[in-house]
Structures are given as structure tokens and as C-alpha cells.
Chains A and B, each alone.
Chain A
Amino acid sequence: MGRRALLGAGIGGAALSLLPFLSGSAGATPPEEAATTTAPPRRPTTADAEMLGQLQALELTAQALYTEAVNVGGWSDEQAALVSFILEAHRAYGQSLSGLLGRDAPGRRNDELFDAWRADFTGAPDQVLAAAYDLESALVATHTEVLASLEGTNGAASISSMLINEARFCTALADLNGSTDNSELLVDDEADSLVGQG
């Protein structure tokens, strides 16, 4: 038996040994009910990324508005401490969304909204606090509306951690502005969502 004959016999044997495996695979049919999962995706989907990008622009707009307010001055120490705290919070929210979205993050504010709100954030401290209350309430409404459309849980969890704090900002701002009305402090009338504006 020559070398060529040996090689031929080896290949033929290998083919024979694979035959059952190959025939089994070819003959396999998918199960009648394919395994499904109801677990939502973790990472933001393409549609999520677009919505989260718009939210990031809103957070950066809020950061820019509070920066304007702080620069105007006239604040008491207590007022300055809270407004600075909220400014830093919005900065952190924008950065957090940058981390979540990566290259899909717009990384810039919404200029139209900034221009629309700017005058309210450069007035007297009590006017700025009232405007900030309205802005935070609008952000709560906006995030809640977007939450209903997000598919990925990472984005939803991130937004919820911002949303729940922005709700607290409203109460703190109303209290700092001297309100004693429980319906105002607890924001019985939420502002309109900013989705689609600007």
C-alpha cells in the first residue's frame, strides 16, 4: 500500500466517521417553539441612543442656565450652595450620559431652549429660583415621557436616577423660595414635557 493509498483511506474513513454527525445536523429541525426571553436589552438601542442624546442636550442646557445664574450673583450663601449643587448635578448627568452613549452622545446643549430660558435665569434670585423650579419640573416630565419609550435597561436606570433627584430639586427650590404650600412643594401640577421643543 503506497503513501497515496494510505492518505486516500484516511480521508475516506474521516468522511465516514463524520457522516452521522453531518446527517444529524442536516436533518435537525428547529424546535416548534423557539426559546424566547422577555428580558429587555441592557445597552441602549439605536432609538434609545437618539432619545438619550436629546436628554443629554437638555441636561447640558440646564447646566448652562445654572452657570448663567451663578455668574449673575446676588445670592445668599444658602441660595448659592443649593444652586451650585444643582448645577454640578446637571453637569454630572450630562457626563453620565456621555459615558453611556459614547460617540453617539451629542455633547452640546440645546441652543433654542437655552435662549428661551436664559432671561429667566439671569433675573433676581427669587425669579431664578421660580424659573429653576419650573425647569426641574419640566425635566421630570420629560424624563418620565422618555422612560416610556426606552428599551435598554441601562439607559432607563440611568435616567431614573436623575429623574428622582430632579423631583427633589423642585421641593428644595420651592422651600428655598419661601413656599409653604404643600401642593407647590410636592408639585401637584407637573410642568409640560420638553420633548419636541427646541
Chain B
Amino acid sequence: MTNDRSNSTPQPLEQQFDRRGLFRIGGLSATALALVACGQTEAGEIGRVGVGQPTPELEAEVVNDGVLMRTMAGVSTSIANAYAHILEGGALAGSSDTLPDLGDQTDLVTLFHEHHVEAAARFNELAVEAGEEAWECGNTRLDSAYISPIFTRVEDGVPATGAAQAIPPSDDPTRDMINLVHALESMSAASCQAMVASVSMPAQRVAAMEIGVRSARQAALVALRINPGGYALTPAQEAATQDTVAAEETTTTVAADAPVAPPLTPIDLPVAIPGHFGLLSPTTWIGGAGDENGVRLRVNFETPSLNSLAYPFYSCAAG
């Protein structure tokens, strides 16, 4: 018995593909692949010896009085810039289908704009006194994540994507802009209040509260322009608000064969005095046209926190 199969006698097909034959074919294939791989002429980079760049470290986050004051300067500037944009667009002079008795609020918001320009200058003075540089531009986080998306949604809508239909511009830009004014004033008041427990110098507390007091009054006044007679929520209204939220949460999905358009996200009317104590909770803005499910844009304006502070290593020039 021999393993020599080099004779010229053709073998039957069953013998060519027996187990030993398969092993032989497999071995030949692997050898051929190895030869092809070794035949590559490009040698590639030669490994180097040495030490690379160290992992970059984040700069230390310094939160001091100066940082807090220049953050507030940025917040005030963002609000002033937003009002300038609103006034330039002329939405406040238009009529509102949702708020037919609103009237032209251009003069009032012009007054508010002046307040926030002055507030930014005052906060910057305090920042410089505390040893930090003034912050002359808007708060980058507030602008990019909150205010700009609202303007885009209200003025331009959202283009269609592969997964969602286009959303048109707002069905009532006047309503959305005056509600934005209320949200920004409320956030300004809450931010000033929040500074009291954060800064260490009494002079800064007092300055923050003087600005916050004015913002709180502006928030109350614009709330009354939007919702005449809406001074405060009664216990029954507070309970009704909770019911509305609960109902809204259970009706966000619309059946595919629904015969009517889905209900739009409701927009609550603001009140002049939202609680017995000054609130530090987020102020919710809801607006813009609804998407295919009737859902409007919802943005929660919050007091400045770690992601929105104007740290010493940030600058307006860097953006």
C-alpha cells in the first residue's frame, strides 16, 4: 500500500474528493494565500521607538465670583441679543390668532432690552472687580442650545428627513416670541436669585438681586399682557395643570389610521406669580408648529450651571 498518487492514471471522482484529498486541497490553498500575502512589495512604516504626546488634560474648572459674574453678563447679553432679533423681525407688532388681545408689545420689549444691556454692563463691572475679564458676548451655551434652535424652529421650521416629514414655520410667531420674552425674563430672575447662594461677596448678591427684581417684575408684567388677569395659580388650576400634563403624556402616540389631525401640544398661559416663593426650577417654552404628530418644540430654560459657565479659559473670540 502506498500514498503515492503521482501516476497518470485518472482516479475516480469519489477518490479525488475523499478526506485525504480535501486536506490536500486545503493545504495547497493556504500555501497559495500565504505566498500571495508575502508577495506584497510595500514594506510599510517601520515601527518607531519613543514616547508620544501625552493625553491632553482638561483645564481646571474654576468657579469663583468672577466666573459667575461674567457668566451672568453673558446671559444678559444673550437675552438682549434675542430681544434685538425679535424686535428686528417685527413679530411683536403683528397680530396673534392665539392671543387676539395681546396688542403691540414692541415698546415694552424695547424697555426690557435696555434693562439687559445695562445688566450685562453691571455684571461685567463686578467680574472685573473680582479679578476676571469681562465677557462681552452672549452665553455660548444659551445661544447655541436654546435661543437659536427656537428662532430656527419658529422662523424656518424643519426640513424633511428620511424619517420625518418637514415641519413648517410657526403657526403664530407673535405668540411664540412673546412667550420667549416671558421665558427669558423668568430665567433671568431665577438666575439672579440662584447667584445669591453661589457668590461670596454681599455686594455681588445685592447687585444680582437688584437686576433679578427688575427681571421678575418684567416677567410678571409680560405674563399679564399674555394672560390678562392671570395673577397666580389657584389650587384648582394647579391641579388642572397636573391633569393636563398627565393627559398629554398619554396621548403622544397617534394611531396610524387616525382620521383627524393629531392634537397639538398645548401651550400653557403664564401667570404673574408662579409660586409663593421665587422659583429656581426651569422655565418651559413651548412653541413652533407641530410636527406630524402634533408635537411642538419644548425647551427648558435653566439657571446657569457647570456646562454654561464662562470659565477663565473661555473667551468670546474663541466662540
Which positions in A face B, CB cutoff 8 Å?
Answer: 38-40, 78, 81-82, 85, 88-89, 92-93, 96, 140, 144, 147-151, 153-154, 156-157, 160-165, 167-172, 175-176, 182, 185-187
- Please tell me the size bucket of the interface on B: 35 or more
Interface of A is mostly: helix
Q: Chain B residues near A163 (CB, 8 Å)?
A: 209, 213, 278
Partner of A172 from the list B111, B202, B224, B280 (CB cut-off 8 Å) is B224
Q: Is A161 in contact with B209, judged by CB distance below 8 angstroms?
A: no
The 4 closest A-B pairs by CB, nearest first: A164-B278, A157-B197, A171-B220, A160-B196
Given A157-B197, A182-B108; A148-B206 close (CB under 8 Å): yes
CB distance from B227 to the nearest CB of A (A): 11
B111 touches A182 (CB 8 A): yes
Binary contact track B219-252/A, C-beta < 8 Å → 1, others 0? 1110010000101101000000000000000000
- A172 and B273 form a contact (CB under 8 A): yes
Q: Which residues of B contact A (CB under 8 A)?
A: 108, 111, 189, 192-193, 196-197, 200, 202-203, 205-206, 209-210, 212-214, 216-221, 224, 229, 231-232, 234, 272-273, 275-278, 280
Contact call A169/B273, Cβ cutoff below 8 A:
yes
CB distance from B105 to the nearest CB of A (A): 11
B108: chain A residues within 8 A (beta carbon):
182
Q: Do A164 and B202 contact each other (CB < 8 Å), given the known contacts A147-B196, A171-B272, A175-B224?
A: no
CB pair A168–B224 under 8 Å, yes or no, is no
Q: How far is the CB of A137 from chain B (nearest CB, A)?
A: 10
**Residues in B neighbouring A40, C-beta threshold 8 A:** 200
Q: A81-B232, A148-B203 are in contact. Are A164 and B209 (CB under 8 A)?
A: yes
